[in-house]
Structures are given as C-alpha cells and as structure tokens.
Structure 1
Amino acid sequence: MRKQISSVQNPYIKELFLLKEKSRTRKRTQTFIIEGLREISLALNGGYTIKTLLVDMSILNEAALNNLLESAPFEIEVIEITSKVHQKLATRTTTEGILAVANSKNLLLETIEFKSENPLILVAEAPEKPGNIGALLRTADAVGIDAVFIANPKTDLYNPNIIRSSVGCLFTTTIATGTTSEIISFLKERNINIYGAALTASVAYQTIDFKKSAAIVVGTEATGLTNEWLSNTTKNIIIPMRGAIDSMNVSVSAAIILFEAVRQRNC
C-alpha cells in the first residue's frame, strides 16, 4: 500500500516546500523538484535519479503513473498526496498531478566528453532570468548542439522556474557551469574556436565557417559580454540589424547564430 500524506503541515511536505523555494536547500540536499509527466520522463531519459514521486490521484491517470514507473531503470517511492498538498508544492496553475524529488548532478566542466570531433557549444555568460535560461536551453535542444556552458551562473539551474520555462530541456542537453576563466581555458585547451556575440570589432555571423569546432558566446542583454571574453575570442560576430535598436532577446540571437551553424554543417 502506498504511503499517503494529506496535511500541508507534514514535516516532509514543509521540507519539500523549502526545496522548491530555496536554492540553498537544493544545494545542501543535492536534490530538487520536477513537476509534470513530460519533464519527469525527460529527466529519467537524461540519466537523473528520481527518488520519490508525489501524486495527486484525483488528477493523475493510474495508467500514466504505471507507464512512468515501468520506464524507470530503478524503483521509485510513490506517495499519494491530496489536492491541497499538491497545490502547495506545484508551481504551475495547470498540471498533471505529479511531482518528483530527484538527485541533482554535478555540472562540472571536467565531466564533459564530446562525441563529435567538431563540437558546437553555446556559452551564456552570467544569465540571470530563469525565462531567458529556459529559452536558451530550448534553443539548444532544438538545434541539437553538443553542450551548453553557463559562465559565472547567477541562478541555480535547478530552480523550478528554469525547469518550467525550459519545458524539461534542462534534462535533454549536456550542461556544465564554471567561471569565465575556466570555460575559456577549457575551450582553448581543446582548440575550440570562440565566437563572441558583440557590437564592436565584429563581422557578420554568416561570414564565419562554423563547420569547425565552435563555441558561440552570448552575454546579457543589458551589458553584453565582459572584456575577458572579448579579449579571448577567435572573432567577434554580429547579427546585422535593420531597425532602430541594436539588440534582441538573448535566446533569439543565440537561435539565429546556432541555426546558421547547423545549416552550414548540413550542407
């Protein structure tokens, strides 16, 4: 018989609420919460370990739960929760009645191994807004690049809003974090060309040969790339603009450049 929790005052539920809300709790416990069937399935496919499923069976279909459990290569604890408890833990207004507690991964540069001889990488320097990070991860998934590196991260990547805005693409992409210096050293040691999206001393992105190993580096919309990146690029690149402004949303800019790189590689 499954364990059941009906009170939002249950100590375990209080602990999970902190896990949802507080980055320091996620870091301390090395766990985080995933919401939704698709996102949990993507996490399993991405090699994440799911410890516990919390299910509101007034919403979730039993067959869907069984299919998920059967797809896991390990046993997962299942706890039935009431709608009130589910609403306490959920971040979405419309959901499928299922949440998971998963072990986080150490997103270290030294764990990265490329399958391709000429990897294509997206580097985002100091992204802060969960929505932008999620959009960048969706772009990376759509393009099918080899990795995403986050330099000087300002936001915990297991923030529920990043998981939500990435629609689970956090789990479909190889990700690593590090300082700008560490990532520059990593790229240079592997002879990976560094192309920084910048307004100064730049050439049009279409003129670059992206068939070779390449890292596309984007900065924040407010300040762009720091001097440390700009002084270490193979070439700075720019998207020619025809309007009155000189910048776009960072995920849009990344998508334009990355899809050009993929177009060249598929020619």
Structure 2
Amino acid sequence: MNILQITSTRNEKMKRWRKLSTRKGREEYGSLLIEGEKLLIEAIKAGWQVRSVLVSERGIGILDRLPRLEGVPVYSLYSSNFSQLVDTQSPQGIAAEVVVPDEQRAYQLKGEGPVLLLDAVQDPGNLGTILRTAEAVGARDLWLGSGTVDPYNPKVVRSAMGSLFRSRIRRGDLSEAIPELKKQGYFVVGTSPHAEQAHYDKVYPEKVAFLLGNEGQGISSRLKALMDLHVRLPMPGQVESLNVSVTTGILLYEWVRQKYQGIDG
C-alpha cells in the first residue's frame, strides 16, 4: 500500500477536506468526510465509493483491518492537522472522503416498509436517530422536505451509526411528493395532539407514509391538508409533546407490531 504524506495545512487536499465540514463544500464536491473505522467499513460494505483515506500516526494500524481498496489513495497527516478535519474530541486517527450517491428523484418506490416524510426536522441528532430507527424496522425510503437538516452533516452521520449508508434518501418539496405517493396507493399519516384516534387504533396498510414535523412547530399547515389521517399519541402524564425521533419510533413500532402479530385490516 502506497501512503502519501501531507505535511502542510496549505495543501490543496487539506483545503478540500476542510470544505467538506460545510454543506456548501459537500455539495460542491459531491462527497463527505466520514470518521472512524466502523463508519468507514459500513460505507464500504454498503457500496459507497471511497475517494481517499486519511490517517494520522495513530490510525496507521487500522489500515490492516480494512477491506481491500483498489486504487484508493491513502494520505498520512500529522495528528495536529488530522484533528483540524474531524469533529470528535478524541479521533481514532482514520477518516475517508466518500462520494455521495445520486439521490433518486423519481417518486416510484419499491414498497419495502413504511415511507418517512420529514418536514423541516432541523436537529442533526434527531435525523440520525430517525435514520437508525427506520432501518431497524425495514423502512429504507425517506423524503426530506425543505428546512430539514443536511443528511450528510457530520453529526447526522455519527448518530445514524451506519444506517445512512443503507437508506434511500430523497430531498424535495413534500407538497409535490405526497400527492405522487398517494397515486401509488400510499396512505399518509401524521400526528396531532387534537386527533380523535390514537395511533394504535388504526390498522395501517402495507403502503403507509408517516409524516413528521419540525421540532418546535410540528407539521406545516399546507402539509396537514394533504394527510389522510391524523393520530394522537396518548400522553396521560404532564407532557405536551414528544421529541420527533421518539414519535417516529413509536409510530414505526406500532406498524411493526401490527405486521408481525398478523393484525388483519
């Protein structure tokens, strides 16, 4: 394995990798920087293209544990320079630039599990948790509406713990996506504290899309008008609302309960 050394912070590669910490930079280069052995292995297994691998003195030994990467350049950096590029306090010493796959713009879906529609979900930790929970139940298709955090934000990538690489992510206007999904037979469900029906009182069809809203404002009024059903999550305690990632988990696992307990609609 040929390892190329970069010593200067003014090196063009260093400048490029620093830009990947921003959404603008990720969109410019069509890639993102991921950190750590586990995430890199998950990305490789999922078939993501690795553009380059970065290691500090501490991370050299990790290279021997990685799957073989034909033709991928490996760059060695001083630990101080490596730390400038990554987001964690105690980096493992290995990172990689990976190419973001082209998002599927078509509305046609494969009908594998529920679809998630996210309306302006802004917290990276929430989106990462949603991605991981969605994968756990077999929901691979996620539509991210305007105002939703960049799914390739480093905090989203870390909190998703590899699930990002196996998700089918689309970004666009949900007011256009929802009618198209309905044409394919999808039943669109969202939550409201004022809904008469509890989330467990509805038998969900195989083709169901769950719409989740912004952490502070909830689902926008223009999207509420497109929903087929509003459900409430009963909260007998002294709480008005739940975290959006928690709400997502409750809805998805009610779908799982119905599917695997053989509840017939």
Conserved in 2, the CA contact under 8 Å of 1:210 and 1:261?
yes
CA deviation string 1:111-148 (max 9, x = no partner): 764153xx311211111111111121121122221322
Q: 8 Å contact 2:115–2:208 — kept in the other structure?
A: yes
Q: Deviations over 1:40-76 (max 9, x none)?
A: 12222222111000012x32253x4233242x5x531
Equivalents in 2 of 1:221, 1:3: separation in Å? 45
Alignment map for 1:198-209 (pairs within 5 Å): 198-209=192-203
What's the offset of the Cα at 1:101? Answer: 0.7
1:95 alignment counterpart: 91
Q: Is the 8 A contact 2:127 2:149 kept in 1?
A: no
Shift of 1:80: 1.2
**Does 1:214 pair with 2:215?**
no
Matched AA of 1:121: V
Match of 2:117 among 104, 109, 123: 123
Match of 1:110 among 106, 109, 122: 106
**Equivalents in 1 of 2:72, 2:67: separation in Å?**
7
* Alpha-carbon distance in 2 for matches of 1:127, 1:234: 21
Using the size of structure 2 for normalisation, the TM-score is 0.91
**Which of 52, 58, 63 is matched with 1:65 structurally?**
63
CA distance in 2, matches of 1:201, 1:237: 5
**Which amino acid in structure 2 is aligned with residue 147 of structure 1?**
D
CA RMSD of aligned residues (A): 1.8
TM-score by length of structure 1 reads 0.90
Cα shift readout 1:186-234 (whole Å, capped 9, x = no counterpart): 3112111100112233410001112421111110121111122211111
Count of aligned pairs between the two proteins: 260
Q: Summarize the Cα distance change of 1:180–1:7 in structure 2 as closer, same or farther, 3 Å threshold.
A: same
Q: Secondary structure at the match of 1:4?
A: strand
Helix, strand or coil for the counterpart of 2:9?
coil
3-state SS, counterpart of residue 171 of structure 1: helix
Correspondent of 1:226 among 220, 226, 231: 220
What amino acid is the match of 2:79?
A: S
Match of 1:245 in 2: 239
| Runs (5+) with no aligned partner, structure 2 | none
Specify the SS of the correspondent of 1:108: coil
Per the alignment, do residues 146 and 17 of structure 1 end up closer, same or farther by CA in structure 2, a change over 3 Å counting? Answer: closer
Q: Secondary structure at the match of 1:15?
A: helix
In 2, the alpha carbon distance for the partners of 1:16 and 1:132 equals 25
Which digits, 9 at most, give the CA deviation of each residue in 1:75-134, with x for residues without a partner?
311111111111111101123211111111232341764153xx3112111111111111
CA contact under 8 A between 2:137 and 2:253: conserved in structure 1?
Answer: yes
| Bigger mean CA deviation after superposition, 154-163 or 82-91 | 154-163
Q: Are the aligned partners of 1:69 and 1:75 in contact in 2 as well (CA < 8 Å)?
A: no
| CA deviations over 1:137-184 (Å, ceiling 9, x no partner) | 121122221322211143222111211222222112222111112221
Match of 1:187 among 181, 188, 191: 181
Percent sequence identity over aligned pairs = 28
Cα deviation code 1:208-262 (max 9, x no counterpart): 1124211111101211111222111111111000112220100001101101101
Equivalent position to 2:134, from 133, 140, 163: 140
Please tell me whether residue 46 in structure 1 is matched to residue 46 in structure 2: yes
Give SS of 2:165's match. coil
Give 4+ residue runs of structure 1 displaced > 4 Å after superposition: none
Distance in 1, matches of 2:132 and 2:78, equals 32
Distance 1:13 1:61, change over 3 A: closer
1:3 corresponds to which residue? 4
Contact 2:32 2:97 survives alignment (8 Å): yes
Letter in 2 for 1:60: G
